[in-house]
Amino acid sequence: MGKKVMKIAILTGGGDCPGLNAVIRAVTKTLILENNAEITGILDGYDGLVLEEYRKLGYSDVSGILAMGGTILGTSNVANPYKYPVKDCDKIVFKDLSKTVIRNLKKLGAECLVCVGGDGTLNIANSLFRDGVPVVGIPKTIDNDIYGTDVSFGFDTAMSIAAEGIDRLETTGQSHHRIMILEVMGRRSGWLALYAGVAGGADIVLLPEIPYDMDVVAKVVKARNGMGKRFSMVVVSEGAKPKGGDVVGRKVLNDGSDPIRLGGIGFVLADDISRMTGLETRTVVLGHLMRGGSPTPFDRVLGTRLGVKAAGLIQKKKYGYMVGVNGSDLVDVPLTVVAKGSRLVPPDHELIKQAKSVGTSFGV
């Protein structure tokens, strides 16, 4: 009797992110070259497992995709098999279709499911593992908010795009003597705003973890103006909020994802600054520009390292773990740890202290 062929399934879930294709490439090539494995790509995240939509991934299928943005497998940020939206009599109801997913994986003959995604995707992966599915996780998010890893691929690319945005807005702000506001993604964590703000030399950085005092923000802007600095650069995370206030949401969702789609704080802030200082203020929202396009070399390398490390876990049959980054090392992190919640910026983070030392205000 011939040796049993290793069969592996892989999906990308949640929002798209630069570096996803680098991970798919690394997992697929490693397991094909070292184990002659058969790789099945699940289309559109967990949707593909519910609807049985797949594609085979051969060596040539993942060649030439290292520098490509997006994901060749597609993705979904609303498909949760434990709370799956189903149309019933012209209304949406949510059903637990996890048993359908488990059954479909068995039909595929997959001995492991590789889940590449953020906290939502990996929380679902942890639930599937709890229900008997062999799972290996790989962290993906531009927000950098996943427990168990110092950094995830996609963050460096998004932060670089935001820093370039600051550089460009500063020159036009100087020319027109305006207050320029850049609103960045990040949901309830401020890693993107913090690192991009420091990299771009922003004068004010507002984070979800540190509710800001509008009087302080106005005071900083007026003080700079009084010193002859007739412009200021403000970076605000989409999840930032004033003391005693709440986040700004563009819409309330009913699709099983985060119930509030954040966005718009930059425009609220601009109105407040203009009203309190009398200075002309403009807002730019980077939005999905931060998630698109080619990954930076750092993210290509990190995605490759994480993918190869995940393949190693599969070869050892070490399931129920996510590959994480600890300093310069790759580590195995139990999915139960990842499922604890989002990794937020500590208010006493070293970079916040260093930014304050060079005059950056955090609105407090």
Known catalytic residues?
143
The Cα 51–Cα 53 span in angstroms is 6
What region, left, alpha or beta, does residue 178 occupy, with left being phi > 0 and alpha being psi -120 to 50 degrees? beta
CA atoms within a 13 Å half-sphere pointing along the CA-CB vector of 154? 32
Between 20-35 and 297-315, two packed helices, what is the crossing angle to 10 degrees? 40
Query: What is the distance, to the nearest Å, from the Cα of residue 361 to the centroid of all Cα atoms in its chain?
Result: 25
The answer to whether 125 and 139 have CB atoms below 8 angstroms apart is no
Alpha-helix runs per DSSP H in the chain: 20-35, 46-51, 98-108, 119-130, 155-176, 191-200, 214-226, 265-277, 297-315, 335-338, 350-357
Selection from 199, 264, 203, 279 nearest residue 235 by Cα:
203
Q: What are phi and psi of 39, to 5 degrees?
A: -110, 130
Strand order in the sheet with 38-42: 54-57, 38-42, 7-12, 112-117, 135-139, 321-326, 329-334
The answer to whether 305 and 298 have CB atoms below 8 angstroms apart is no
∠ at Cα 32 (31, 35), nearest 5°? 65
